[in-house]
């Protein structure tokens, strides 16, 4: 019982802080819009994949991108908590480290899912005005995508938390963007089809768990309805989901361990 | 059985030993002080006891639980007020307290009652719905204190509890701490470098210097052990040999470039002393303080310099400017 209350406390704090920090909420809307409208619009005038226009094609990728950036970043906010000593207050409380980790995951996932919901609303509007034809946003496709995104987010938040728990200063942020977040994004098939990849590139993409999240969501939001190959590897969404779940379970395992070993 | 017992507790950092084979026994219900200059190892000791820093060697038991083997159980028995701010700036004062109540699994009606009580104590009731970001340094300090006091743990650690507070709020806090110890039979461990605070609050205290206990005892006893009053003489040249012949002088020592004499009933002997030592610039008679105790055992004054790096004081300065 006490553990649950503690987990709730951490979740409450993260969610409150997120909603109060306007800049985080606003950038979470602006950034995907830039991708959809500018990259999507610009490139889209020249290329299209799998029978849908480029904006429609990258929309699932942009969903994942939002999850990726916001989740990993959420984790490294821990470094801030350490800096302002809020972490001490939490670590000295009568809670298991595992519960602290769970509370953090829930908080981070909530932040990310709120952003994703905004993105679905944007997707709805863009589909309605005809920018993204072929995108099937129905109650069931959104619900299944959310399940996918939640599972992916849990794994990604865990990565962030693992890194954050081991980092001592915020200076490492930039390195994480360059060496982890961008590669995970670019190597996921978010922006281009991964059917005819050069040999050297293919292994990286297939090793990337994010690839399967993109593949699954793209199949659900576009492929199944259009009955076309949309450039992904086209595993069944079920298999995609299992791979993503496996990834998240492993990350939770490592994260729990990292939290137990965390030093101030 | 003591409620806190440290056994050769030691913490080494790369080049220095912060806490050196510390053996301490603290009894239930007492207010125990760790007194010493900055860098003496007080905070490090505290952080080890509350399970936030692992000791290099040795261990301690708190409420019967080992800090290394049973940290979860130790954490259930304690509360701590940190020296540095650990509240969330984006949340309000009230929200920070509520969060604390949840983390410590307090029933909701008790939580609300205590929040009200501690907010009153630290005089933040009318600012409770402001974000902590808008608080001054002193207000943050008070909020921090309110939070640590809120859940009435069995053992409460206070790291420099009144640092940077004005004398009036300091008095309030002291009274509340004393009441907690008395009414709840709470054991309270305070680190401080304020002599006055240690003297007034602590049942017993340990003076710590360079990671070691220099002397331990009740403040009254420690002062009494010095052997009476102190006469402090300032002069260019003193006839020390003449002083040594006076049998009632128990101790002659140099303190910060001056000479300190320890003796009983100083005022009645003053004339004779002044007659023999020769020309002096100034003289001072007083009852011994904990400063003298520290000086006596370490040969240095405690008040060397101001506490550097203390956030509260820095913040106080910053907020005074605005």
CATH of the domain at B237: 3.30.70
Cβ–Cβ gap A84/B86 under 8 Å: yes
Q: What's chain B look like in SS3?
A: CCCEEEEEEEEECCCCEEEEEEEEEECCCCEEEEECCCCCCHHHHHHHHCCCCCCCEEEEEECCEECCCCHHHHHHHEEEECCCCCCCCCCEHHHHHHHHHHHCCCCHHHHHHHHHHHHHHCCCHHHCCCEHHHCCHHHHHHHHHHHHHHCCCCEEEEECCCCCCCHHHHHHHHHHHHHHHHHHCCEEEEEECCHHHHHHHCCEEEEEECCEEEEEECHHHHHHHCCCEEEEEECCCCCHHHHHHCCCEEEEEEECCEEEEEECCHHHHHHHHHHHHCCCCEEEEECCCHHHHHHHHHCCCCCCCCCCCCHHHHHHHHHHHC
Among B176, B198, B222, residue at a domain's last position:
B222
Do residues B15 and B130 share a domain? yes
Q: Are B79 and B156 in contact (CB under 8 A)?
A: yes
Q: Give the C-alpha distances (Å, rounded to integers) separating B276 from A246, B228, B236, B240, B244.
A: 90, 21, 15, 9, 10
B130 pLDDT band, cuts 50/70/90, is very high
Q: Is residue B316 part of a domain?
A: no
For residues B202 and B254, state if they share a domain: no
**Min distance B160 CA to chain A CA atoms (Å):** 16
Contact list in B for residue A88 (CB cut-off 8 A) is 52, 82, 84, 86
* pLDDT class of A229 with cuts at 50, 70, 90: low
Joined tokens for residue B90? 């984006």
- Nearest CB to B90 within list A5, A20, A96: A20
Question: Is there a single domain that holds both residue B134 and residue B246?
Answer: no
Q: How many Å apart are CA A221 and CA A123, to the nearest integer?
A: 11
Q: Give CA–CA dist B107/B176, Å, rounded.
A: 22
Q: Are B208 and B250 part of one and the same domain?
A: no
Last residue of a domain, one of B193, B222, B251: B222
Residues of chain B with C-beta less than 8 angstroms from the C-beta of A4 = none
**Residue A228 φ/ψ, nearest 5 degrees:** -130, 160
pLDDT tens-digit map of A231-244:
555 678 888 999 99
Instruction: Mark yes or no for CB contact B105/A5 under 8 Å.
Output: yes
pLDDT at A234: 65
> What does chain A come to in residues?
264
> So what's the pLDDT on residue A233?
59
* Closest to B83 in 3D by CA, of B318, B311, B315: B311
C-alpha B216/C-alpha B1 separation (Å) is 18
Pairing of strands B249-255, B187-192: unpaired
Residue where the block lists tokens 């401080």: B192
pLDDT greater than 60 at residue B308: no
Same domain, B95 and B160: yes
pLDDT of residue B124: 93
Structural domain includes residue B31: yes
Q: Is the CB of residue B299 less than 8 Å from the CB of residue B256?
A: no
- Same-domain status, B140 and B255: no
Element of type H or E holding A15: helix A2-20
Q: Which among B227, B238, B239 is positioned nearest to B265, based on CA atoms? A: B227
Are B184 and B150 within one domain? yes
Integer Cα distance of A165 and A250 in angstroms: 17
Q: b/e per residue, B198-215, with b = 16+ CB within 10 A?
A: bbebbebbbbbbbbbbbb
Q: pLDDT tier at B313 (50, 70, 90 boundaries)?
A: very low
Which segment, A190-194, A224-228, A260-264, B318-322, is predicted with the most confidence on average? A190-194
Residue B85 falls inside a structural domain: yes
Q: Which residues of B touch A86 (CB under 8 A)?
A: 86-88
User: Is residue B306 in a domain?
Assistant: no
Q: Does residue A225 surpass a pLDDT of 80? A: no
User: Are A244 and A155 in contact, with CB atoms under 8 Å apart?
Assistant: yes
Mutate to test the interface with B, among A90, A94, A259 (most CBs of B within 10 A): A94
Q: Which residues are bridge partners to B213 per DSSP?
A: B208
- For residue A90, list chain B residues with Cβ-Cβ distance below 8 A: 103
Rounded CA separation B167/B261 (Å): 32
pLDDT tens-digit series, residues A142-192: 999 999 999 999 999 999 999 998 888 888 777 887 889 999 999 998 888
Q: What is the nearest CA distance from A68 to chain B, expressed in angstroms? A: 24
B36 and B95 both lie in a single domain: yes
Task: Of B144, B147, B143, give the one whose Cα is nearest residue B101.
Answer: B147
- Contact between chains at B78 and A92 (C-beta distance less than 8 A): yes
- Reported residue count of chain B is 322
* A54-83 vs A139-166: helix crossing angle, rounded to 10: 40
Dist CA B223 CA A253 (whole Å) = 57
Q: What is the pLDDT of residue B299?
A: 74
Q: Which residues of B touch A13 (CB under 8 A)?
A: 88, 91, 99
Nearest to B115 by CA among B131, B99, B135: B99
Helices vs. strands in chain A: H and E counts, helices first:
13, 2
Q: Measured between alpha carbons, how far is A169 from A153 in angstroms, rounded to an integer?
A: 24
Phi and psi, residue B242, nearest 5° = -65, -40
Count CB-CB contacts under 10 A for residue B303.
Answer: 14
The count of structural domains within chain B is: 2
Domain end among B183, B199, B222 = B222
In a shared domain, residues B210 and B242: no
Question: How far is the C-alpha of B110 from the C-alpha of A48, rounded, in Å?
Answer: 63
Q: Are residues B204 and B246 in the same domain?
A: no
pLDDT digits (tens, 9 = 90+) for B195-244: 888 998 999 999 998 899 999 999 999 988 887 888 888 887 777 778 78
Query: What range does the domain containing B272 cover?
Result: 229-287
Q: Alpha-carbon distance B35 to B196, whole Å?
A: 11
Domain-located, residue B293? no
Structure-model confidence comparison of residues A237 and B103, the more confident one: B103
B74: closest chain A residue by CA: A94
Q: Are residues B198 and B59 in the same domain?
A: yes
């Amino acid at each position: 019982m006490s553990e649950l209350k503690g987990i709730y406390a951490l979740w409450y704090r993260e969610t409150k802080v997120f909603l109060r920090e306007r800049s985080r909420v606003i950038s979470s809307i602006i950034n995907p819009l830039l991708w959809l409208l500018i990259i999507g619009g610009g490139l889209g005038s020249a290329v299209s994949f799998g029978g849908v226009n480029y904006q429609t094609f990258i929309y699932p990728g942009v969903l994942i991108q939002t999850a990726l950036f916001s989740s990993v970043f959420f984790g490294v906010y821990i470094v801030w908590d350490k800096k302002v000593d809020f972490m001490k207050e939490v670590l000295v409380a009568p809670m298991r480290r595992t519960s602290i980790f769970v509370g953090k995951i829930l908080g981070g996932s909530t932040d990310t899912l709120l952003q994703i919901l905004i993105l679905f609303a944007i997707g709805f509007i863009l589909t309605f005005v005809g920018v993204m034809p072929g995108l099937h946003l129905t109650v069931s496709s959104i619900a299944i995508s959310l399940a996918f995104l939640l599972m992916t987010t849990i794994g990604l938040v865990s990565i962030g938390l693992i890194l954050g728990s081991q980092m001592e200063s915020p200076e490492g942020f930039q390195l994480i963007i360059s060496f982890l977040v961008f590669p995970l994004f670019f190597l996921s098939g978010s922006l281009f089809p991964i059917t005819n990849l050069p040999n050297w590139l293919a292994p990286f993409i297939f090793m990337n768990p994010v690839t399967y999240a993109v593949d699954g969501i793209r199949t659900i939001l576009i492929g199944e309805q259009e009955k076309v190959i949309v450039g992904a590897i086209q595993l069944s969404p079920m298999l995609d989901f299992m791979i993503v779940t496996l990834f998240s379970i492993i990350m939770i395992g490592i994260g729990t361990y990292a939290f137990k070993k965390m030093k101030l | 059985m003591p409620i806190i017992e440290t056994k050769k507790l030691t913490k080494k950092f790369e080049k220095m030993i912060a806490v050196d084979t510390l053996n301490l026994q603290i009894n239930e219900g007492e207010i125990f002080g760790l007194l010493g200059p900055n860098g003496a190892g007080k905070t490090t000791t505290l952080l080890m006891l509350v399970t936030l820093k692992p000791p290099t060697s040795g261990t301690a038991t708190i409420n019967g639980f080992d800090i290394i083997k049973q940290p979860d159980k130790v954490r259930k028995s304690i509360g701590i007020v940190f020296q540095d701010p650990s509240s969330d700036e984006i949340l309000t004062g009230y929200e920070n307290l509520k969060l604390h109540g949840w983390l410590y699994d307090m029933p909701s009606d008790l939580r609300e009652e205590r929040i009200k009580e501690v907010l009153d104590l630290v005089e933040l009731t009318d600012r409770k719905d402001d974000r902590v970001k808008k608080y001054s340094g002193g207000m943050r300090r008070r909020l921090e204190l309110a939070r640590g006091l809120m859940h009435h743990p069995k053992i409460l650690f206070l790291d420099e509890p009144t640092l940077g507070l004005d004398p009036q709020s300091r008095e309030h806090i002291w009274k509340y701490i004393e009441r907690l110890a008395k009414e709840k039979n709470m054991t309270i461990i305070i680190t401080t470098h304020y002599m006055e605070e240690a003297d007034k609050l602590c049942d017993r205290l340990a003076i710590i210097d360079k990671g070691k206990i220099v002397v331990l005892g009740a403040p009254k006893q420690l002062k009494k052990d010095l052997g009476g009053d102190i006469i402090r003489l300032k002069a260019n040249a003193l006839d020390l040999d003449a002083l040594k012949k006076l049998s009632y002088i128990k101790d002659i020592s140099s303190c910060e470039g001056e000479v300190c004499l320890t003796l009983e009933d100083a005022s009645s002997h003053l004339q004779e002393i002044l007659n023999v030592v020769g020309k002096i610039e100034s003289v001072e008679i007083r009852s011994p303080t904990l400063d003298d105790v520290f000086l006596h055992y370490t040969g240095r004054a405690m008040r060397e310099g101001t506490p550097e790096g203390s956030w509260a004081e820095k913040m106080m300065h910053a907020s005074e400017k605005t």
